[in-house]
Structures are given as structure tokens and as C-alpha cells.
Amino acid sequence: MDHAYKIAIIGGTGKVGRYIASKALQNGYQVRMLVRNLEKITDKDERIEIIEGTVENIDNIKLLLNGCHIVINTFGQPPKDEPIYSSLTKNIFEVMKEFEISRYIGVTGGSLNIKGDRKTVFNKIGAKLFEIFFSKMLKDKKEELTILQENRGIEWTLIRLPFVVEGSEMGNIKESLYDMPGTKITNKDIASFIISQIENKQYIHQTPFIAM
């Protein structure tokens, strides 16, 4: 069934993002992607509208979001880069408000601790080690979460992920609001879960963990 909704995808050529567009098309959605390097598009589909530009340029974000109804953000950076997750999310939300777009789905790491978590000792140790070795990134990720929590007018969902592996869609995804239910998940399963959340209200203003 075709949908009237058009999805704006940020990070559409990344490890997870490159499968989101095809999954969205399979489910009848229209798709527009922001792409820095057109050569990174491995599976070209004429049904996908491409905006060439960078996430750092708010005018490019405006071009991407204008006329869209849902924003999916799977933007990723190498750990050694200066993190810009919070500033990017701030800009996205400003443009979403300007264009009256309400639905946002993003991803983050399972090491992000949130009030109400009930992590196992193993997962607490993993989160602490991540904070030690990637302190700048985690600090920025916490700032990103604060931006989300301050924008209750936007129907956001932030999905917390374990290790992401290449692989086929396995199905049977485990979900939890309190602790990571597994150690890994395939990129295709993540894409499938994200698309399933577009019209699902279960995790509005929530930060679910998902895993295999």
C-alpha cells in the first residue's frame, strides 16, 4: 500500500541507513535522502530523491525536510572526530518546527544511560568503559538526549543499539525500555524496526533498547 508520507533520511549511506530507504520503499513510503558523497550510493533507485549536501549546513537540512512528514536520523561519525550529534539534532528540530513536522526517529548507542534504566552489571561495566574511552562522544550524545527531552512537542523516538553487524533480516527483535536485551543486531533488522515505528506510537518520547 502506498503512503502519502515522505521520509527524510539523514545518514542514508551508512551501515544502517543504506537499508532504511529500500525498506521504506517496500512499505510504500516516499523517500528523500541527504548525501554528502554521491559515490557512496551503492544501490541507486530512481524512486529515491537525493539532496546533495552536508549535515553541517542548515540550508541543506531545510532542502531535505521541506515537504517531508517524518525524519529518520542515523547519522554516524568516526569516534575520533569532533562529535556534532547534539548540534545536528538541534538544527533538525528547528527546521522540523519551521515546517511543522512532528515525527522523528533517531538512533544512539546502548551505552547511553537514562534515568529509569535497570542495566545488568555486565551492561553497566560496558557503559562505563565506553564513557572512559569515548568521553567526548558520550557527552555529546547526552546533550543530544537533553535536546530531545526538551522538545515534547515533537514525537521523537531514540533507539538504543548494541553492536551492529552486517547480515540478513532475522526478525524476532527483542525490545526493552530498561536494559539491552542482547549483544548485537543486524543492520537490516534495525532498518526494519525503524520503519515499523513510523506510525507506531508505542515509543513516543521513549528510548527503547533493541537487540537480537
pLDDT tens by residue, the chain, 212 residues: 556 799 999 998 888 888 999 999 999 999 999 998 877 776 678 889 999 999 999 999 999 999 999 999 999 988 889 999 999 999 999 999 999 999 999 999 999 999 999 999 999 999 999 999 999 999 999 999 999 999 999 999 999 999 999 999 998 899 999 999 999 999 999 999 999 999 999 999 999 999 99
Find, among 138, 191, 143, 147, the residue nearest to 167 by Cα: 191
> Which helix (H) or strand (E) is 11 found in, with range?
none
Residue 49 lies in a domain: yes
Residue 202 lies in a domain: yes
Residue 183 lies in a domain: yes
Domain range for 172 is 6-207
Residue 212 lies in a domain: no
List own/partner pairs for 54-58 with CB under 8 A and 24 or more apart.
55/10, 55/84, 55/88, 56/84, 56/88, 58/91, 58/94, 58/95
Residue 164 lies in a domain: yes
pLDDT (0 to 100) of residue 38? 78
Residue 128 lies in a domain: yes
The total number of structural domains that make up the chain? 1
Residue 171 lies in a domain: yes
CB-facing half-sphere around the CA of 144: CA atoms within 13 A: 29
Residue 1 lies in a domain: no
CA atoms of 48 and 46, how far apart (whole Å): 5
Model pTM score: 0.95
Tell me phi and psi for residue 127, to 5 degrees. -65, -40
Instruction: Provide the 3-class DSSP secondary structure of residue 73.
Output: strand
Decide: residue 202, CB within 10 A, 0-12 exposed, 13-18 middle, 19+ buried: exposed
Q: What is the CATH number of the domain that holds 20?
A: 3.40.50.720
On whether the CB atoms of residues 114 and 145 are closer than 8 A, the answer is yes
